[in-house]
Amino acid sequence: MPTETVTISASVGLRRDELAPVRALLARCNTHDGTELFLALKTAVAGDDTTPFYLLAREAGALVGVAELVGYREIEGTILVEPARRRRGLGRWLATEAARELARRELTSWLLACDEAFPGGAAFAGALGGERTFYEHRLTLDPARVPPANRHPAPLDFRRAHGSDGPAIAAITAAAFGDPPDAVLEWIAQDLARPDRRWFLGLEHGVPVGSLRVIAIAGGADITAFGVLPQHQGRGHGRAILSRTIALLLAEGVAPINIEVETENATALGLYRSCGFVPQHTYGYYRVATAPGAASAG
């Protein structure tokens, strides 16, 4: 257990004066470990149930550790410890406090994200009893590899989504990812109102068939939540929606443009590569129980 000089505070969202120290710790850890871990780094927003939960460890007033828990159904967590303060139990203490918070929410497990470039991450997950569930590639767009624009053979329209499109996006997302429709609708409604998020729709004869989300991150963007209704898959709609999004972001001067995909999803990986994306980092996601004997996420 860390010394009594270390304290851990918990909060939903960060205070504005906490953003810079957390961002600096993230940068130090990534530089030291050769990784590219990410944090949402969000302040509290009234009425937003998707705001991450944070645990901040301080010693003599200095930030020495962070845990961020994010997600509306499946919780993903990232834990950072100041390199000079490792191997003293601080990471395990943060993980224990994270598990206590999630157990309070009646969740039986969570996913710890680790950049596989740093072997210590997987070792830490193993020490917590974590079992690797899947890998994801993080790909970054190389503008030189983007193919020439081709006219889509089907009458597919593309536009930015509005608040009234929430039910359509929720239906697409729930069907594409197998999530509960009601939970997805609540999350989408909150997400559409966020200034750092843009949703886009692909429509065939005026009917929404696919959607994706663009998250603004420090001048760049992450493309996420990319889905097409199952009955419309295999017809080039996904490629058309992604290509139009890429063209829009490049025209706006957005860089870098990133996207993530499970390593075993060969179809999506092939699509992303053919659109100009190049793998940069691989992340392992390790399922950690919130209590001894707990098995799956609640």
Burial 238-259 (b: 16+ CB within 10 A, else e): bbbbbbbbbeebeeeebebbbb
Low-confidence ranges of the chain (pLDDT < 50): 293-298
For the packed helices 266-274 and 237-251, what is the interaxial angle rounded to 10 degrees? Answer: 40
The pLDDT of residue 277 is 98
- Dihedral angle at the C-alpha atoms of 112, 117, 121, 125, nearest 10 degrees? 50
The pLDDT of residue 294 is 47
Q: How far apart are CA 298 and CA 293, in angstroms?
A: 14
CB 63 within 8 A of CB 25: yes
Q: What count of other Cβ atoms lies within 10 Å of the Cβ of residue 18? A: 18
Angle, vertex CA 59, rays to CA 56 and CA 64, nearest 5: 50
Q: How far apart are CA 47 and CA 232, in angstroms?
A: 35
Secondary element (H or E) of residue 274: helix 266-274
Residue ranges and CATH numbers for the domains of the chain are: 6-137+284-289 (3.40.630.30), 143-275 (3.40.630.30)
Angle, vertex CA 185, rays to CA 183 and CA 189, nearest 5: 120
Which tokens hold the place of 127?
């020490």
Q: What is the DSSP string of 22-46?
A: HHHHHHHHHHHHT--------B--T
Q: How far is CA 90 from the centre of its chain?
A: 24
Angle, vertex CA 9, rays to CA 127 and CA 15, nearest 5: 120
Residue carrying structure tokens 């179809």: 267
The pLDDT of residue 50 is 75
Q: How far apart are CA 287 and CA 112, in angstroms?
A: 6
Q: How far apart are CA 122 and CA 2, in angstroms?
A: 21
Residue type at position 58: R
| R_g over Cα of the chain | 20
Q: How far apart are CA 70 and CA 234, in angstroms?
A: 32
